[in-house]
Amino acid sequence: MNFTMSLIAAGAAVLLGTGAMADNWRAWNIHNDGHPNTAAMDRFAELVAEKTGGEITVDVFHGGVLGSQPDAIEQVRIGAIDVGNFNLGPIGPMVKEANLVSLPFIFKSVPHMFRVLEGEGGEIMGAAMAEAGILPLAWVDAGARSFYAQKAINTPADVEGLKIRVKTTDLYTSMISAMGGNPSPMAFSEVQQALKTGVVDGAENNFPSFKSVGHYEVTTHYSLSEHLIIPECICVNTTKFNALSGDMQDAVRAAAEEAALYQRELWAVGSEQARKDVEAAGIVVTEIADKSPFQDAMGAVYEEYLAANPDMRKLVEIAQSTE
């Protein structure tokens, strides 16, 4: 090989080397267009490319096309999917500490939930999640979940005898049973059809999801029980993240934090708009002035859960003592 050829070969190697270093991540998102988290995840992808100078690019797969949420969480843990926007509810069966957020009425409000996440409670949950392979880069808002059905659900007694769809987390099953209802664990993608055909009588979610997947088209009443305030995360495979250089870690984290702040802004506006839209479409929204009957009914859920999981008491106390 002469000198010129060696130079060309060296140049090609450098180019190939650079090419090999650029990393393309696959991201999971359950929501479709028009949902605040879809726009936020697109923003996350843009910010990662920008802040890493193109060394990491992210392809976001919306609408849950990479699999159901419990499956996708597992995929991120093993590194088959790199990153995703996950609800902490379905993380609970894999990371016990995440179950804190699935105890009904554990948070007084969304700001209270964020204060807990930004304090010792969030540190404990985040560390346990990272240990399990799914590291939270930033927390995002998912508002509060309330019941909807073909009638108003203003007291726990209104749930009696109803078949209510829940996510596949034991605490939600207990929650519905404690009110005398029949819990029906089911994937998000199946709920609209189940409501439509009467396989279930009702479900529970926040306004943006109630609207975006058409649950409002097949129910008549949305009752503001606000029994669960479940945060979400932008979460990455732990090994993948730890293998990055310090600078790349900072860039990815900053991208997630910025995308999460953007999500919270979109959420505030989008959630109000979703409520207006479903009301305009004929949904009767009822305010529940006194939620104590619901809270009282949950006493049994806490008792049973903490008796079986005494090591969760500390997290519960941290949440309850956070102002």
Interface contacts to ligand GTR, rule CB under 6 A: 30, 69, 87, 89, 142, 167, 188, 205-206, 209
Quote the least distance from Cβ 148 to ligand GTR, whole Å. Answer: 12
Q: How far is the CB of 168 from ligand GTR (least distance, A)?
A: 9
Tell me how far, at minimum, the Cβ of 228 lies from ligand GTR, in Å.
10
CA–CA dist 210, 145 (Å, integer): 10
Residue 80 CB, nearest approach to ligand GTR (Å): 19
- Smaller CB separation from ligand GTR, 167 or 240: 167
* For ligand GTR, the closer CB: 51 or 86: 86
Q: What is d(CA 58, CA 259) in angstroms, rounded to the nearest whole number?
A: 13
Task: Walk across the sheet containing 83-87 and list its strands.
Answer: 56-61, 23-28, 83-87, 232-237, 134-140
- Cβ atoms 37, 31 nearer than 8 A: yes
Cβ nearer to ligand GTR, comparing 187 with 297: 187
Q: Quick one: 32 or 57, whose CB is closer to ligand GTR?
A: 32
Nearer of residues 52 and 69 to ligand GTR, judged by Cβ: 69
Give me the least distance between CB of 263 and ligand GTR, in Å please. Answer: 11
Q: Which long-range contacts (CB under 8 A, 24 or more apart) does 21-24 make?
A: 21/55, 22/54, 22/55, 22/56, 22/57, 23/55, 23/56, 23/57, 24/56, 24/57, 24/58, 24/59
Nearest partner of 288 among 229, 222, 220, 215, judged by Cα: 222
Nearest residue relative to ligand GTR (C-beta): 188
**Spatial separation of the C-alpha atoms in residues 300 and 80, rounded to whole Å:** 39
Minimum CB separation of residue 18 from ligand GTR in Å reads: 36
Both tokens assigned to 170? 């034991």
Residue 309 has phi, psi (to 5 degrees) of -130, 65
User: Which CB atom, from 146 or from 205, has the smaller least distance to ligand GTR?
Assistant: 205
Q: What does the alpha-carbon distance between residue 222 and residue 284 come to, in Å, rounded to a whole number?
A: 6
Q: Which is nearer to ligand GTR, 134 or 248 (CB)?
A: 134
Q: How far is the CB of 94 from ligand GTR (least distance, A)?
A: 14
